[in-house]
Amino acid sequence: MKLLYALLAPLVFSLPSIAQQTQKPPLHGKHWMAITGKPLAATAGAMTFQKGGNAVDAACAMLAATCTMWDVLSWGGETQALIYNPKTKKVIAINAMGVAPTGATAEFFKSKGYNFPPENGPLAATTPGTPGGLMHMLANYGTLSLEQVLTPAMEMAAGYPIEAQTANSIEKNKELLKQWPYSKKLFLTHPGQPREAPEAGEIFVQQNLLQTLTKLVEAEKAALKQGKSRKQAIMAAYDRFYTGDIAQEFVRGSKEQGGLITMQDLARWKPLEEEPLMVNYKGIDVYKLQQWTQGPAMLQGLNILENFDLKAMGYNSSKYIHTVYQAMNLSFADRDFYYGDSHAAPEEPIKGLLSKAYAKQRARLIQYQKNDPRIGPGDPYPFEGKKNPYLKLLKARGYEMDTTKRNFAPKHDVGNNSSTPEYQERLWLGTTTMEAADKEGWVVSITPSGGWLPACIAGNTGVGMSQRMQSFVLDPTLNPFNVVAPGKRPRVTLTPSMALKDGKPFLSFAVQGGDTQDQNLLQFFLNVVEFGMTVQQASEAPNFNTNQLWLSLGGSKTDDRKPKPGHILLNNSTPEPVRAELKKLGYTMSFDERTSGPINAIYFDWKHGSLWGGSSNHGEDYGIGW
């Protein structure tokens, strides 16, 4: 019977996935596509295309709108983007991640009793990156003015009907919001009432934010009147935010509430253009941001999984789930120890980590008899011709590079046996996405975040401060590359994705969801490439998550973040035979109706000269195509 089941598994689990009906129809377009985390924000993208803007203009308009609508981010957060430039036929990486401010040291946070920087409040804030990232992208690769791109967001700031999801999040977090005077004033529109947050559909007004956005447009207009170029005028607005009166009020408001950010911190910070990282998976070039994000974990996972015949295993069969789960554990163990700011010392061994030979070595560690709770960081240094300088640190953490000598999971890396709702919330925390493409060939994938509710507003700017400091570590035995320091970027979960085939755009995709992002995106990509799903089918398809990793967000104590070896979140639709097999392999299973964040994606149909859009209903995400 077991032999028969093994033979039938690929047939049983691959064919239904190809024919599956979708809950939302796929999007189709010939001229452009705009997809993001809120319906109104997708409309802002469509309006921008209708003005004659390109995909960069539309993406910036959607970014501005989602920030204004508090779609798990705000204007004081961070922006990460990949842009395909059809003129150069190159993928560009935009690093608009803020940095730790003056005084933000491991010793400072330890003196306050933290094992990690705090989750919320002014001490959780890195410098704001989204305004600078938006203006940099627009100035260099867009075509419209800042005023044209910001108009939808400004109209929303003047008042828009707030959705239930955001309104209820305000009510849920109202006690925290009351700690910060500017947040209390903005968000609690019915003070003293049983429900102090806005009601769904209520017109939510952000007068201070509107004034801030108006100041940016005024700076642009003044520069144009002086004869400055379009680009120079946009950067004049940039300067007003980071060195002018907006910066002064931001810093004043932050310091009033106990924050560390200084005028010098804002003035020194700049968005960066980088070379993206890339691996080739079966003839497809897959691009991610550098190792200051978790993006390379997906690339490592693809390198490992290239050594297996996944299609023959069958879509979401027990063998497939086990193999992908183990590959993700291997990749995330490296992420947890070796990833950090690529612009700060020490230098990460990214060449070795993305080596195909290193992936083969890691793939050989996968055991088919059981889940391996001992999986830890590997040693990529020999694969770039170097000796690992952190072997002693790894041993101090409890890892021995010779796996034959280690028959236990280090205590430092083992959490308790239960996966609490709080733990799951931290695993999925934050972020939104936007995908845009146009007939000229511009493609944009953005995963912005930070400044989500409960957000601490920086004075009278109306700008919510980031909470990304919590993604740093204070203990170098956890990750020597990601120890907090002034001017340094934290290693973040935010991870836009792009893939090219035969030198042309193939897929652009991203997802909301903290540490699950590159788990979800890895499976989405395999759904399309290995199992022939459309982007809408792949975005909705049943997913699974590993908890065998260190959490990047939530909880200021070490026990809050520890991995949970063998814990797996499965979709409710997982068949009983698969559940039984996974139980035999030692998994602790939990189940849910929706097992990924909202995946947004664009597929480029070169055969027919059209665009396919996918957007799951796992959030409020929405797309429009033409």
Could you tell me the residue ranges of all domains in the chain? 28-98+106-274+425-541+597-625
Model confidence over 20-47: pLDDT tens digits? 689 999 999 999 999 999 999 999 999 9
Instruction: Name every residue whose Cβ is closer than 8 Å to that of residue 121 and which is 6 or more positions away in sequence.
Output: 179, 180, 257, 258, 456
Inform me whether the pLDDT recorded for 425 exceeds 90: no
pLDDT at 409: 82
DSSP 341: -
pLDDT at 456 over 70: yes
Q: Is the peptide bond before 346 cis (omega within 30 degrees of 0)?
A: yes
Using the predicted structure, report yes or no on whether residue 235 has a pLDDT greater than 60: yes
11: pLDDT strictly greater than 60: no
pLDDT of residue 20: 65
What CA–CA distance (Å, rounded) separates 280 from 272? 25
pTM: 0.95
Q: What is the pLDDT of residue 135?
A: 99
CA–CA separation, 167 and 163 (whole Å): 6
pLDDT value at 16 more than 50: no
In the block, which residue shows the tokens 């010392």? Answer: 345
Confidence label for 427 from pLDDT (cuts 50, 70 and 90):
low
> Superfamily assignment of 28-98+106-274+425-541+597-625 in CATH?
Gamma-glutamyltranspeptidase, small (S) subunit (3.60.20.40)
Question: What are 332-358's pLDDT values in tens digits?
Answer: 999 999 999 999 999 999 999 999 999
CA distance 606 to 483: 45
